[in-house]
Structure 1
Amino acid sequence: MPPATATTPSEIKFDTTAAVQRLVRFLGINAITGHEAPIGKELVAALKEVGVPAKAISFDDAHTRIPEPTPIGNLIVKLPGTGKKSAKPILFMTHMDTVPLCAGAKPKVVGKRVVNELEGTTALGGDNRTGCAVLVTLAAELIKQNLPHPPITMLFTVREESGLFGAKHLNPADLSGPTVGFNFDGRRAADVITGAIGADRWTVDIRGKAAHAGVAPEKGISATMVLALAMAEVHAGGWFGKVVKDGREGTSNVGWVGTTDGKSAGDATNVVTDFVHVKGESRSHDAKFVRDITAAFKAAFTNAVSKVKDHEGRTAKVKFTSRLDYVPFRLKPDAPVIKLAEAAVRAIGLEPNLRVTNGGLDANWMVKHGIPTVTFGAGQNEIHTVKEFVDLTEFESGCRLALALATAE
């Protein structure tokens, strides 16, 4: 028999039962962001089970460059081309970690959904074990059906949920030169995400001076008051929440107020708070505007320092630190990767919906690395909540889409 090809919806077939079993298997692995070793081990085992040679599977050293503790690097799988010799390499990718809320999830299939037996207590982890199952299913079907395909690199990144670190610290040379990338991380297979927002993350350390708040408050320097005055300034200036300035748009937020070791700021109501650690973010599709929003927060904290003094005129000290979290991108509508994506979505009987997102994706860094990358969904729903579930109809569409992309002529 000649090798099978995939050109129409009816011809794109795969073992749906095995794919769903694979998904449930991965959902049951407790491996949140920063603790990816168990899911990395399970992915390697699953890839070998479907026929991927051990020599084609490796972990990179990105974890040695990630500033947060990370046990393993990105998982990279390379499948040699079996089609035309002139075919250019392509990349399929996803992330292997989940948010901490997923710890201890127990998946079960109910009709055309995978739900959590512990509904109401943990999230499920469809973000992004759906992507993991799609990629392993792609490898399984390419091998089992002997489907012709170009050289394929599969990438399973670490620490996506805690800052896109795996993709950021990837060495692009480890991927063997893919010309386009397809990232599976979302809800609907027909949604083709062609652009995403950029973001800064920033921290502020405010060091004041403790004093008895009832006996001699004037001898203290309240770090809490410095925070309050700074936040009042950014709010009054229109830099907090949804930010619109001269036709440019973005967002900002403060997400953590406490100490560096996770405790509450301040020790007691009768003690002037001497230290506050603040974490926040700035986002925009305009890279310069991201920096402008961050600069507004830095200026507000600097200004607030001079307004809070002790009885001798001394002020608090503020250390403001920011870092680029990820860069925004927007691919042109006629980019080859988008044309390939649109054709593949239509090949599985759906109509492509091109859109941009206000969330960060590993694709942000892949584009920065020089690999034009679009993102699709594979059944995620109510992610990062205790109501999370996976829509198996969309998951199966995601698997078909991956096959259509890999076997397109």
Structure 2
Amino acid sequence: MNSPESIDRQEALDRFTHLTAIPGRSGEEKDVAEAIIEQLVAAGLDRSNCKFDGAEERTEIDANCGNLIVHLPGSGSGPHVLLSAHMDTVPICLGSQPVVEGDFITSSAATGLGADDRSGCAAVLTAAIERLRGSDDSLPPATLLFTVQEEIGLKGARALDASLIGKVDLAFNFDGGPIEKITMGAIGGERIDIKLKGLPAHAGVAPETGVSAIVIAAKAIAVLQQEGWLGRVSQPSGEGTANVGVINGGDATNVITPEVTLKAEARSHDSAFRTEIVQTIEKAFQWAASDTCNDTGVTGRCEFSSRVDYDAFHLPEDDPSALALESMLQKMGREPYRKVAGGGLDANWLNHHGIPAVTVGCGQQNIHTDSEKLDINDYLAACQIATQLICEPVS
């Protein structure tokens, strides 16, 4: 079996640029998945070992494929290792034209690169191809997971059919940041939908007969801001963040606006405190609706709903996947450090499904922007780590 150090640098780079040039926004990942399958089959894997889990039938948007689950057969003893990465990119990356510039890969087009997370996909794919080329049946079985719809709220990981994966001993999610960063946990997030209903009226002739939904929204937002429940939230009972990100309503300046819809979010590493933030936001909007009335005492109304996008998690300090990753990085001359993410990761839902996963950086920088780039040395190190994990049994 080839050692990780013998990975062909040019092949690994070509693998990344090939995958990155394929458009694949959330819900449209099938071409990326088929390119991955094509390379695995060319390396000797039977296509029957590649399965889709039908997650697209359990998510809200129209989508063309579910999560791709790949089983690498083996008869040897040792831990069952899972390697995962997500296939979708944000819209700014559509049309990416990856080019090598010194120690980095960038997009020559006016787009994002898409290293988030095609670098993770390419690292996992590189490891699988190295293993297939070695034809070493004495290795224990391993599983690859390529998820969908990560960028729009971890929808693919949430809808994962974990029964197709089975019991996992070690799990590594390749996504986000420098190779030295070991992400041990992530924040939990909840999305909020608010509909405010008032009464229309002519704004010039009889404004007093109307109830402005805009006024209701303004009152609630002002109170939340003044009392420290928007932005960085720090209260005696906990810490988190909250934001009202979208407001829609109104058609004309001469009409008292009868309806406004808002989208908001709350995040915290403490699930109970996140719930408290959401409840406080609801209380503010319900109060503002009941406090805003016309000249006859008719008040506004508030319809409020929320849903958990992903719950917070934190791996224990002695998590075996984290310890294995730490040891590998140290042997490579790197200085690993542990972090907890302020945004959601597929690992949030993997943990929920009973698959505790540590997240491995792949060298992505400036993600979700048109200045995104990939650190080549970090990416190649991620390829080496992924390869070692499934080509050399972890003790």
Per the shorter chain, which TM-score range? over 0.9
What's the secondary structure of 2:6's corresponding residue?
coil
Per-residue CA distance 1:150-184 (angstroms, 9 max, x = gap): 21110011110101111111121110221221000
Q: Does 1:395 align with 2:395?
A: no
Q: Match of 2:53?
A: 60
Q: Match of 2:336?
A: 352
Question: In structure 2, how many angstroms separate the alpha carbons of the residues matched to 1:123 and 1:316?
Answer: 43
Q: Within 5 Å, give how 1:97-108 maps onto structure 2.
A: 97-108=88-99
In 2, are the aligned partners of 1:52 and 1:139 still within 8 Å (CA)? no
Q: Match of 2:307?
A: 323
Question: In structure 2, how many angstroms separate the alpha carbons of the residues matched to 1:348 and 1:38?
Answer: 34
Give every structure 1 segment of 4 or more consecutive aligned residues whose post-TM-superposition deviation is greater than 6 Å.
none
Q: Match of 1:93?
A: 84
Counterpart of 1:368 (choices 348, 352, 358) is 352
Cα distance, 1:37 vs structure 2:
2.1
Q: Does 1:282 align with 2:271?
A: no
Question: In structure 2, how many angstroms separate the alpha carbons of the residues matched to 1:350 and 1:150?
Answer: 27
Counterpart of 2:123 (choices 129, 134, 146) is 134
In the alignment of these two chains, the number of paired residues is: 392
Cα distance, 1:146 vs structure 2:
4.0
Q: Which moves more between the two structures, 32-41 or 393-402? A: 32-41
Q: Does 1:205 align with 2:184?
A: no
What's the secondary structure of 1:332's corresponding residue?
coil
Q: Which one-letter code corresponds to 2:29 in the other structure?
A: E
Question: In structure 2, how many angstroms separate the alpha carbons of the residues matched to 1:127 and 1:382?
Answer: 10
Q: Match of 1:163?
A: 153
Cα distance, 1:403 vs structure 2:
1.6
In 1, are the aligned partners of 2:128 and 2:387 still within 8 Å (CA)? no
What's the secondary structure of 2:316's corresponding residue?
coil
What's the secondary structure of 2:307's corresponding residue?
strand
Q: Match of 2:15?
A: 22
In 2, are the aligned partners of 1:12 and 1:403 still within 8 Å (CA)? no
Q: Which moves more between the two structures, 91-100 or 104-113? A: 104-113
Q: Match of 1:41?
A: 34
Cα distance, 1:210 vs structure 2:
2.0
What's the secondary structure of 1:12's corresponding residue?
helix
What's the secondary structure of 2:241's corresponding residue?
strand
Cα distance, 1:247 vs structure 2:
5.7
Q: Does 1:180 align with 2:174?
A: no
Question: In structure 2, how many angstroms separate the alpha carbons of the residues matched to 1:371 and 1:14?
Answer: 28
Cα distance, 1:31 vs structure 2:
1.1
Question: In structure 2, how many angstroms separate the alpha carbons of the residues matched to 1:74 and 1:315?
Answer: 47
Counterpart of 2:106 (choices 115, 119, 126) is 115
Q: Which one-letter code corresponds to 1:142 in the other structure?
A: R
Question: In structure 1, how many angstroms separate the alpha carbons of the residues matched to 2:235 and 2:182?
Answer: 29
Q: Percent identity?
A: 39
Question: In structure 1, how many angstroms separate the alpha carbons of the residues matched to 2:237 and 2:327?
Answer: 35
In 1, are the aligned partners of 2:210 and 2:294 still within 8 Å (CA)? yes
Q: Does 1:50 align with 2:65?
A: no
Q: Does 1:214 align with 2:200?
A: no
Question: In structure 2, how many angstroms separate the alpha carbons of the residues matched to 1:287 and 1:180?
Answer: 26
Q: Within 5 Å, give how 1:77-88 maps onto structure 2.
A: 77-81=70-74, 85-88=76-79
5+ residue gaps, structure 2: none
Q: Match of 2:141?
A: 151
Q: Does 1:314 align with 2:298?
A: yes
In 1, are the aligned partners of 2:201 and 2:210 still within 8 Å (CA)? yes
Q: Which one-letter code corresponds to 1:73 in the other structure?
A: G
Cα distance, 1:123 vs structure 2:
1.5
Question: In structure 1, how many angstroms separate the alpha carbons of the residues matched to 2:376 and 2:130?
Answer: 18
Question: In structure 2, how many angstroms separate the alpha carbons of the residues matched to 1:302 and 1:234?
Answer: 12
Q: Match of 2:242?
A: 252
Q: Which one-letter code corresponds to 2:283 in the other structure?
A: A
Question: In structure 2, how many angstroms separate the alpha carbons of the residues matched to 1:317 and 1:36?
Answer: 41
Q: Which one-letter code corresponds to 2:362 in the other structure?
A: A
Question: In structure 1, how many angstroms separate the alpha carbons of the residues matched to 2:46 and 2:160?
Answer: 23
Q: Which one-letter code corresponds to 1:300 in the other structure?
A: A
Q: Within 5 Å, give how 1:222-237 maps onto structure 2.
A: 222-237=212-227
What's the secondary structure of 2:382's corresponding residue?
helix
Question: In structure 1, how many angstroms separate the alpha carbons of the residues matched to 2:296 and 2:312?
Answer: 47
What's the secondary structure of 2:35's corresponding residue?
helix
In 2, are the aligned partners of 1:329 and 1:364 still within 8 Å (CA)? yes
TM-score of the aligned structures, taking structure 2 as reference length: 0.95
Cα distance, 1:276 vs structure 2:
1.2
Q: Which one-letter code corresponds to 1:14 in the other structure?
A: I
Cα distance, 1:375 vs structure 2:
0.2
Question: In structure 1, how many angstroms separate the alpha carbons of the residues matched to 2:312 and 2:116?
Answer: 21
Q: Does 1:383 align with 2:367?
A: yes
